[in-house]
Chain A
Amino acid sequence: MSTLTISPSPHVHSGDSVKKNMYGVVIAMIPALLFSVYNFGIGSLSVVITSVLACVIFEYVIQKYLLKGDVTITDGSAVITGLLLAFNLPSFIPIWIVIIGALVAIGIGKMSFGGLGNNPFNPALVGRVFLLISFPVQMTAWVKPGAFPMSIADITSGATPLGIMKEGLATGATTEQLMQKLPSYADMFWGFTGGSAGEMAGAAIILGLVFMLVRKIITWHIPVAVLGSVYIFSAILHLADAAVYAPPTFHLLSGGVLLGAVFMATDYSSSPMSNKGGIIFGIGIGVLTVIIRVFGAYPEGISFAILIMNAFVPLIDRYVKPKRFGEKPAVAK
């Protein structure tokens, strides 16, 4: 007999691990990734590969040479950040911009706060918003999807549905007139519209959501709260004045709402711990997204909405407590 191990209970473990969760998220992003590569071809592929590699390498360099600690790049979290950053960028964006985005995402967004689990903001969004403010022209150079375009020459530029809506409304057109110019809801759902690399295909993102729910990587609370509140809030506006405010289905299917609700708002470290907190957080994101889209200067608001709500997470965790056992009054005879 070997030496007996003495440790406090429990003596068994579920076998769940950081890696299983992280790579689970990576697997959930594969459908959206495939769609993106099909639509934007080499442009999407090069952005994704650069972003993932850059994120992993920056994490390695920072952990090894700057912090001189354990290197944990195999846990998969840097891969997720890389994929999410790529999903948020226009395809065919210059590669050096992607690398800067990755450095900001990993260096400032994640490692400066202590690495995995300690980042208050979604690292990929930190990178994305940094790029959006620093390189507004390149960051809004949207292209139209094709069938695996091999080079920038094979594609045409084109505004996103949200861009068309925003600019159209500014010129005094009604939402009804503008909807004529836009792709159908079906095209938007199946991903045949312009936009960031990974945000177009609603169907692919929902597939990923179902996978993550089944594997218990995330719970339904945050995605449902974000999507529900975007729908309800934009429906209220639309009912108030249909000419000025786009229909709720448009808000749900356009831009990055689905991607944000499913993959970015659900980032473990930058979202609330409890389910109740998750619902409040999700509603905040949904309402802010619509406010920015409708009343703000940018056509899209999901990134800013998530980052703003990220800042409220410690407050939510402090005051929104899960239901304690025995809180409901006992019914003794």
Chain B
Amino acid sequence: MLKTFSLGGIHPPENKFSAGKKIEALPIPTQVAIPIAQHIGAPAKPIVKKGDQVKVGTLIAESAGFVSANIHSSVSGTVAKIDDIVDASGYKKPAIIIDVEGDEWEETINKSADLIKEISAAPEEIIKKIAAAGIVGLGGATFPSHVKLSVPPGKTCDVLILNAVECEPYLTADHQLMMEKGEEIMVGTQILMKALNVDKAIIGIENNKKDAIAHLTKLATSYPGITIEPLKVQYPQGGEKQLIDACIKRQIPSGKLPIEVGAVVQNVGTTVAVYEAVQKNKPLFERVVTVTGKSVSKPSNFLTRIGTSINTLIEAAGGLPEDTGKIVGGGPMMGKALTTTEIPVTKGSSGVLIIKNEEAKRKKMQNCIKCGKCISACAMGLEPYLLMTVSQKGVWDRAEQEKIMDCIECGSCSYTCPSQRPLLDYIRLGKGKVGQIMRSRTK
């Protein structure tokens, strides 16, 4: 029996159309727009101005605090302006816009593809390098990686868990990365293990990626301490809490972080970035993005420079289909619907999903029939129907008491509801309000 998490979960159609498609380097665009807020935490502070010359890998915006991240140029050329552009959130936010000239990299970056297995950097140095390279969680949460690796005093970490679950339907970027960058993932994992001072790492992979499981299991034999854990296909297994529960049967208590149960989780894509940063001095300025959808003529996995317009990716995947009704940044369960195609790829962009017109709109909402299916689907053991009701009615103390803040917003409840009720929409509203009340209380 394959392991999985203990509570709830769903199994939506996987639709991994781009599985097995080799990672293609997308041609460098003529202009990039690099937002300064691509991560959770304080937006980075721009340190370049209009007219400045930059190279690939030049630091262009500086981390503005502990929970923040450096941002580097993904191209070489001239800074055209710093201006507000619409990002995936739909809001206008500042970005550094660079006109591309050539493809000249910073000299410090080792451009060779040779694998460097020897890890010479000391733990503190590793964390420093990761912070300097502006690495954030590439699974989509974009939490600065160096923060996760800095274990707070009084806490201990005994296991590193690598998130290679990719439980979102459609997305295949991590899967393909495992097939093509297996060795880099192994070395990256060892770097993370060294930084955390642990001798055990588990790579959790869902069983719909049998080739990746076989490939990494074979590689892992020459890397002590790393084990591959095949997991039963079940959404939202890529959630940090669910993954830890699935791999090592430890449940993080309400409101706590993984370190509470002695675990640190990093995404496989992040691990490749860590390898490149520590071994090759390469900052995070490109990532693999899946472009996919039922109507997309060439579903693909593109190695994309940060700041490239999503339009460019869609064109490279065969163009925007006529009957497109929705464009999602990320996967169908947790991704954001985009307002235009002129949105830049950021560190957190795992995919671009094109949804056909007939599937773009929700169906008519009906009465709650009290079937209880949302409770069975909830991976956090909550009662979504109740959280929706208390949020609608504004009964915030009850919402807090019913653990609304535990919701990970995976969307399993809304996905499951036979009455098409917008459960998660209202739970988000409630979380916003309850979070505000809780913060004002501690002030």
- Give chain B interface residues in 344-385, CB to chain A under 8 Å: 353, 355, 357, 359-363, 366-373, 375-376, 378-383, 385
Decide: B320 and A11 in contact? CB cutoff 8 A: no
Chain A 1-19 interface residues, beta-carbon cutoff 8 Å to B: 1-2, 4-14, 16-18
User: Which residue of chain A has its CB nearest to the CB of B169?
Assistant: A12
CB-defined contacts of A14 to chain B, threshold 8 Å: 10, 12, 415-416
Q: How far is the CA of A11 from the CA of B334 in the complex (A)?
A: 8
Say if the beta carbon of A140 comes within 8 Å of chain B. Answer: no
Q: Is A117 part of the binding interface, using a Cβ–Cβ cutoff of 8 Å?
A: yes
The reply to whether A1 and B322 contact each other, CB–CB distance below 8 Å, is yes
Q: Are B419 and A8 in contact (CB under 8 A)?
A: no
Asked whether A21 lies within 8 Å of B371 as measured between CB atoms, the reply is: yes
Dominant SS among interface residues on chain B? loop
Contact of B368 among A117, A278, A324 (CB under 8 A): A117
Given A118-B367, A326-B253, verify A12-B359 contact (CB < 8 Å): yes
Q: A2-B357, A6-B90 known; A11 and B369 CB under 8 Å? A: no
B366–A330 touching, CB < 8 Å: no
Minimum C-beta distance from A177 to chain B (A)? 46
Q: Is the CB of A274 within 8 A of B375?
A: yes
Cα distance, A115 to B366, chains bound together (Å): 11
A333 to B380, CA, bound (A): 23
Contact of A2 among B323, B379, B411 (CB under 8 A): B323
Whole-angstrom distance from the CB of B169 to the nearest CB of chain A? 7
Our pick among A1, A20, A118, A325 for the contact of B406 (Cβ within 8 Å) is: A325
Determine whether the beta carbon of B381 is less than 8 Å from that of A324: yes
Closest B residue, CB atoms, query A17: B418
The residue in B324, B353, B362, B373 that gathers the most chain A C-beta atoms within 10 A of its C-beta is: B373
CB-nearest residue of chain B to A12:
B332
B369 neighbours in A (Cβ, 8 Å): 18, 21, 77, 116-117, 268-269
Q: Are B366's CB and A75's CB within 8 A?
A: yes
B424 close to A9 (CB less than 8 A): yes
Q: Is the CB of A94 closer than 8 A to any CB of chain B?
A: no
Structural contact, B156 and A4, CB atoms closer than 8 A: no
Cβ contacts under 8 Å, B406 to chain A: 324-326
For B380, the chain A residues whose CB sits under 8 A away are 324-325
User: Interface residue count for B (Cβ, 8 Å)?
Assistant: 78
- B325 A331 Cβ-Cβ under 8 A: no
Q: What chain B residues lie within 8 Å of A118 (beta carbons)? A: 367
Contact between chains at B361 and A325 (CB < 8 Å)? no
Contacts A11-B353, A273-B375, A333-B262 given: A6-B370 contact, CB under 8 Å?
Answer: no
Q: How far is the CA of A219 from the CA of B371 in the complex (A)?
A: 10
Nearest A residue to B403, CB-CB = A324
Alpha-carbon distance between A122 and B370 when the two chains are bound, in angstroms:
13
A50 CB–B CB distance under 8 Å = no
Q: Which residues of the other chain, A, contact B250 by a CB distance below 8 angstroms? A: 330-332
B425 contacts which of A8, A11, A116, A330 (Cβ < 8 Å)?
A8
Residue B414, interface by CB 8 Å: yes
Complex Cα spacing A161 to B376, Å:
39
Given A16-B418, A116-B367, A117-B368; A5-B383 close (CB under 8 Å): no
Q: Which secondary structure dominates where chain A touches chain B?
A: loop
Max count, chain A CB within 10 A of own CB: residue among B251, B261, B335 = B251
Count class of interface residues, chain A: 35 or more
List residues of chain B with CB within 8 A of the CB of A46: none
B425's nearest neighbour on chain A, judged by CB, is A8
- Which residues of the partner chain A approach B359 to less than 8 Å between Cβ atoms? 12
Docked pose: A8 CA to B347 CA in angstroms? 21
Known: A12-B12, A116-B367, A330-B252. A5 touches B360 (CB 8 A): yes
Distance (whole angstroms) from the CB of A320 to the closest CB of chain B: 11
Chain A nearest Cβ from B7, distance in angstroms: 6
Q: Is B339 an interface residue (CB 8 A)?
A: yes
A4 to B361 Cα, complex, angstroms: 10
A1 to B327, CA, bound (A): 11
Task: Out of A1, A5, A326, A333, name the residue touching B251 (CB < 8 Å).
Answer: A326
Encoded as 1 (CB less than 8 Å from any B CB) or 0, chain A from 1 to 44 comes to 11011111111111011101100000000000000000000000
**CA A5 to CA B359, docked complex, whole Å:** 10
Which of B6, B332, B375 is A10 in contact with, Cβ under 8 Å?
Answer: B332
A-side contacts of B10, CB under 8 Å: 14
Residues of B within 8 A of A317 (CB): 386
Mark interface residues in B221-237 (1 if CB within 8 Å of A CB, else 0).
00000000000000000
In the complex, chain B residues whose CB is within 8 Å of the CB of A275: 372, 375-376
A10–B367 CA distance with the chains assembled, in angstroms: 20
Query: Does A136 interact with chain B (Cβ within 8 Å)?
Result: no
Interface residues of A in 303-333 (CB under 8 A from B): 317, 321-328, 330-333
A-chain residues with CB within 8 Å of residue B31 when the two chains form the complex: none
Do residues A333 and B425 form an inter-chain contact, with CB atoms below 8 A? no
A-B contacts, 26 listed (Cβ < 8 Å): A1-B324, A2-B323, A2-B324, A4-B326, A9-B328, A9-B336, A9-B337, A9-B409, A10-B332, A11-B328, A11-B335, A13-B414, A14-B12, A16-B373, A16-B417, A17-B363, A17-B419, A18-B366, A219-B376, A273-B370, A275-B376, A278-B372, A322-B378, A324-B403, A330-B250, A332-B262
B residues adjacent to A (C-beta < 8 A): 6-7, 10, 12, 90, 156, 158, 169, 241, 245, 249-254, 256, 260-262, 320, 322-328, 332-340, 353, 355, 357, 359-363, 366-373, 375-376, 378-383, 385-386, 403, 406, 409, 411, 414-420, 422, 424-425, 428
What 3 A-B pairs are tightest by C-beta distance, nearest first?
A: A10-B411, A117-B367, A324-B381
- List the interface of chain A (C-beta within 8 A of B): 1-2, 4-14, 16-18, 20-21, 72, 75, 77, 114-118, 219, 268-269, 271-275, 278, 317, 321-328, 330-333
Further contacts, 15 of them, CB under 8 A, given A17-B419, A326-B406: A4-B325, A4-B338, A8-B422, A8-B428, A17-B363, A18-B366, A273-B375, A273-B385, A273-B386, A321-B383, A322-B378, A322-B382, A325-B241, A327-B251, A330-B261
